[in-house]
Chains A and B, each alone.
Chain A
Amino acid sequence: MEYGLDLEYSFNEFLKGFGLSSEIAHILWLPLPMLLVLVAAVVGVLVTVWLERKISAAAQQRIGPEYAGALGVLQPIADGLKLLVKEDIIPAKADGILFTAGPILVLVPVILSWLIVPFGQNLLISNVGIGIFLWIALSSIQPIGLLMSGYASNNKYSLLGGLRAAAQSISYEIPLALSVLAIVLMTNSLSTVDIVNQQSGAGILSWNIWRQPVGFIVFWICALAECERLPFDLPEAEEELVAGYQTEYAGMKFALFYLGSYINLILSALLVSILYLGGWGFPIPVELIAKFLNLPINAPFIQVFTASIGIVMTVLKAYLLVFIAILLRWTTPRVRIDQLLDLGWKFLLPISLANLLITAGLKLAFPQFFGG
């Protein structure tokens, strides 16, 4: 198997050159990918907020942010700064500890899940064996944070919003996990790197979306529901619940919810692109390009080229999906809570179960196409 660029190894060798022991080099290395992911996530949120403002403006025939920087690109930073300097309020009758712990419990699992998002063969924080299962497990912690903040706010709208959020994410987690399971069945591995490698055979033709079209749609609907994006944003439905569980929050605590929901959106888009759209793969296999240019696949130039193309492709695919999500938000009406639960339990769950069964059958019948 090709390993390509190994930044950690080079970094450790570089530090050993200064006479440091390998353990200290390892400790110095550890915070770097974490910091990088935090920065990437926050920058991703800033870009998404700007996109949301611009695209919503275009959908409503407005101009949108215009004066903060060119085309208003600095608007999200201004938003963030505003939230940073706002007063931190805990309502008098609220439960202080739970009120503070709620937003943290919502945000931390989302950021932890970035652990498994690969941007290239070695460009991920940790290629843990349980890979995608870690994300499913971590995303199930979120409802506790939502329930906690809904309860602690001591406000009936908050409590209702929290309960709705928990009900929604419990019922959509099952079809989500089942459609991931179909992919795992085809890959024979839970690792996200293996999932992408399995799709890299023939460029765009070998992407999972062609073999799992039903799974793709179920996954995307469920991911939108887990992110509480508009067709499914019942927990914070403005007309009914003020702002749901966020009602009593202000300043940085509100910003944590805001960040959490946008990071979750980007994460879901990244995971859709990893599971179904070939991850870091270019529509034409890089091996073919290297052969065309008469360069060996291990040449440093090709390695850097592959890595940068990998990052660009992953981000491009993810942002295409984010664009679709934003467009959906500003063009579709909200579903009712009974419609939402009906869709989850009576439509998506049976369909994803059938999809799993059919995938297993196809895998037995055509092992060369559906993973042996």
Chain B
Amino acid sequence: MSIAITTQFICFTVLSLVVIIGALGVVLLESIVYSAFLLGGVFMSVAGLYLLLNASFVAAAQVLVYVGAVNVLIIFAIMLVNKKEDLKPINDIKSRRVISTSICLTLLSLLIRVDLTNVWSLSNPQNSIGEESTTRIGEHLFSDYLLPFEVASVLLLMAMIGAIVLARRDVMSKDISTGLPVDQELIEKSSEPLLTNKN
């Protein structure tokens, strides 16, 4: 076994272990902050896996989008909304767990089926494009994938405008949940009066 292949094998093992253990940690850990940071670690290792597959542009885009934007925003939101609040016990937790487990198992079986049926080996592994992939991705985005690309960007724009509408109270005159007129003065002010007569 040559040194390059050994290095690749070691990197692959370490990255896969980090992905699996990190993903389990994201789901199972009690502390939401740890989960968020571990999620960043998982995204980074996935980028590492892309790098091992010679897809350096995809790897860098993964780091930029998922680690630099998505994960930072998740952590940011967690830290801004740092409420110490006891969660209410959910009623029929057992049946919910059964349903979610079965859904996850179905998805897993789908993935396993894809893994088994797909032909993974390249017809000519020496012909992998490597660094040229950046150009190739650009060509595809501006030719046969132009419509999906544009539709996705319109979708993102809609999501952004929606978020702005929800965050800015002066756009809507009524509170959605209570139906009370919204106080336009202070954003921090709660929509219900703080001192209600609780007789």
Bitwise, B176-188 to A at CB < 8 A (1) or not (0) is 0000000000000
CA distance in complex: A55, B40 (Å): 40
CB of A91 to closest CB in B, whole Å = 17
The dominant DSSP class at the B interface is: helix
CB of B44 to closest CB in A, whole Å = 8
B69 engages A98 (CB within 8 Å): no
CA distance in complex: A137, B43 (Å): 13
Number of A-B contacts (CB under 8 A): 75
A129 lies within 8 A of chain B by Cβ: yes
Determine the chain B residues whose CB is within 8 A of the CB of A23 once the complex forms.
Answer: 2-4
CA distance in complex: A137, B69 (Å): 10
**Count class of interface residues, chain B:** 20 to 34
A133 engages B60 (CB within 8 Å): yes
CA distance in complex: A144, B78 (Å): 13
Please tell me which one of the listed residues B37, B60, B72, B132 contacts residue A143 in the complex, with CB atoms under 8 A apart: B72
A130-B134, A148-B37, A166-B76 known; A140 and B3 CB under 8 Å? Answer: no
Determine the chain A residues whose CB is within 8 A of the CB of B73 once the complex forms.
Answer: 170
Determine the chain A residues whose CB is within 8 A of the CB of B80 once the complex forms.
Answer: 163
B45 lies within 8 A of chain A by Cβ: no
The dominant DSSP class at the A interface is: helix
Determine the chain A residues whose CB is within 8 A of the CB of B60 once the complex forms.
Answer: 130, 133-134, 136-137
A159 lies within 8 A of chain B by Cβ: yes
CB of B136 to closest CB in A, whole Å = 12
A125 lies within 8 A of chain B by Cβ: no
Bitwise, B49-62 to A at CB < 8 A (1) or not (0) is 00000001100110
- Please tell me the number of chain A residues within 8 Å of chain B, measured between CB atoms: 28
Determine the chain A residues whose CB is within 8 A of the CB of B76 once the complex forms.
Answer: 147, 163, 166-167
B42 lies within 8 A of chain A by Cβ: no
Identity of the chain A residue whose Cβ is nearest the Cβ of B58 in the assembled complex = A130
B64 engages A144 (CB within 8 Å): no
A70 lies within 8 A of chain B by Cβ: no
Determine the chain A residues whose CB is within 8 A of the CB of B40 once the complex forms.
Answer: 144
B18 lies within 8 A of chain A by Cβ: no
Determine the chain B residues whose CB is within 8 A of the CB of A190 once the complex forms.
Answer: 134
A140 engages B64 (CB within 8 Å): yes
Determine the chain A residues whose CB is within 8 A of the CB of B130 once the complex forms.
Answer: 129
A140 engages B67 (CB within 8 Å): yes
Identity of the chain A residue whose Cβ is nearest the Cβ of B68 in the assembled complex = A140
Bitwise, A174-205 to B at CB < 8 A (1) or not (0) is 00000000000000001000000000000000
For the complex with contacts A128-B131, A130-B134, A141-B67, 10 further pairs of A-B residues with Cβ separation under 8 Å are: A98-B37, A130-B57, A130-B131, A133-B60, A136-B64, A137-B60, A137-B61, A140-B72, A151-B75, A162-B79
Pick the 8 closest A-B CB pairs, nearest first: A140-B68, A129-B131, A137-B60, A137-B64, A137-B63, A143-B72, A130-B56, A147-B75
17 examples of A-B residue contacts, CB within 8 angstroms: A23-B3, A129-B131, A130-B57, A130-B131, A137-B60, A140-B67, A140-B69, A143-B68, A144-B40, A144-B67, A144-B71, A147-B75, A163-B79, A166-B72, A166-B75, A170-B68, A190-B134
Chain A residues in the interface with B (C-beta under 8 A): 23, 26-27, 98, 128-130, 133-134, 136-138, 140-141, 143-144, 147-148, 150-151, 159, 162-163, 166-167, 170, 173, 190
